[in-house]
Chain A
């Protein structure tokens, strides 16, 4: 099989999930409470699972024999196709929850549509993932409501988090390649339903939808922030130091 446009599309979905999972893992031992360490580890684990299935399928679509591990561990940053939203560091818990709300709401709409799509493999992966992601949306929603409609301090920080993340939301909804019309979900069509959901939570949390300019995209073309290289260095180090090692 050699289906370059679908390979690139699938790789984008896989890399979003994989890079987000790596960032979620950073929170283990750093979250505000023990239960949240466990929550973020579990959410990250779901995302890794989704990434594994998607990377395996991407490897088949490419038709050059690359496995999920080859794709995860042996590509450099310019070959990653994730959006910038998921790759930037987050050291404030409010930022983590703002981002999770945006990203998982997008994923929920994406997977729901893909599960009804014509590509049997993507449909199978999405039908599995949509149930997991619904729980992530629920979790992020609880926190955004609690922090936004909480104390003055939590409200201020939750608003600052939304302001910091909002410029990067737009890139999630970039159009798929024209040649994929009718074959896969066009993320551009998810913009209104997904953002309507996010805005509703933001409003209910007594927060304000930020009026901020859109950040420069390019992640789907391999143009990333400097942060992705450091993330990959950590994620890929072991595999590259011991090629072919198994246990």
Chain B
């Protein structure tokens, strides 16, 4: 047996990809909260949504169950929790790197919600690294992203919004 840093069930669950951002795992995103396994081999997985209305949650649930079942786990249940609320600060460094490699500018640090309208800082272009960029749409292809354009290399790109 090889030594692993995580229990096997957790390692397997952690490999599940986000269906809307398939370059990162649910572990990278920080939405995999907990995986417990009892002595009967029953696995209980706890995940949290990025946004309240995230439509990917059902697919993620099915993917977790299927992935664990393919590894021989017979009884898997997945629980959704809201508290404590997920934040983009929960994204791992590995997750941020994978997003940037895929051309999605990772989020900056989170500002306190509900404060005065925040000064928008520039978001570095993931293609050429320029800071001469502008937001072209405050909302993007998924709830967690906005759309930006680089003035230097002219490429449009997604930005994972700080939440």
Contacts and interface: CB of A to CB of B under 8 A. Distances in A.
A and B interact physically: yes
Contacts of B122: none
A29 B95 CA distance: 34
10 contacts: A35-B138, A38-B140, A38-B141, A41-B139, A48-B53, A49-B53, A112-B114, A130-B113, A135-B161, A141-B117
Interface in A1-55: 35, 38-39, 41-43, 45-50, 52-53
A132 interface: yes
B147 A35 contact: yes
A42 B143 CA distance: 6
Given A35-B137, A39-B138, A127-B84, A50 B53 contact: yes
B82 A50 contact: no
Given A35-B147, A108-B114, A134-B114, A128 B53 contact: no
A7 to B, nearest CB: 19
Interface residues of A, number: 33
Contacts of B140: 38
Interface string B110-138: 00011001100000000000000000111
A52 B137 contact: no
Contacts of B73: none
Given A108-B114, A127-B85, A128-B82, A49 B137 contact: no
A123 interface: yes
A49 B83 contact: no
A138 B49 contact: no
Interface of B is mostly: loop
A52 B84 CA distance: 18
Contacts of A125: 52, 82
B163 interface: yes
Nearest to A39: B139
Contact of A47 (B53, B82, B85): B53
Given A125-B82, A130-B114, A132-B51, 13 more contacts: A39-B137, A43-B139, A45-B55, A52-B53, A53-B52, A112-B113, A124-B82, A128-B52, A128-B85, A131-B85, A132-B52, A137-B114, A138-B118
B54 interface: yes
Interface residues of B, number: 27
Contacts of B82: 53, 124-125, 127-128
Nearest to A108: B114
A45 B117 contact: no
A49 B139 contact: no
Contacts of A102: none
A120 B82 CA distance: 11
A128 B140 CA distance: 20
A196 to B, nearest CB: 13
Contacts of A141: 117
A134 B137 CA distance: 17
A38 B52 contact: no
A39 B145 CA distance: 11
A138 B137 CA distance: 13
A129 interface: yes
Nearest to B145: A42
Nearest to A17: B52
Contact of A35 (B51, B113, B139, B161): B139
B136 A46 contact: no
A123 B113 contact: no
Contacts of B139: 35, 38-39, 41-43
A154 to B, nearest CB: 19
A43 B51 CA distance: 11
B138 A52 contact: no
A129 B83 CA distance: 11
Interface string B33-56: 000000000000000010111110
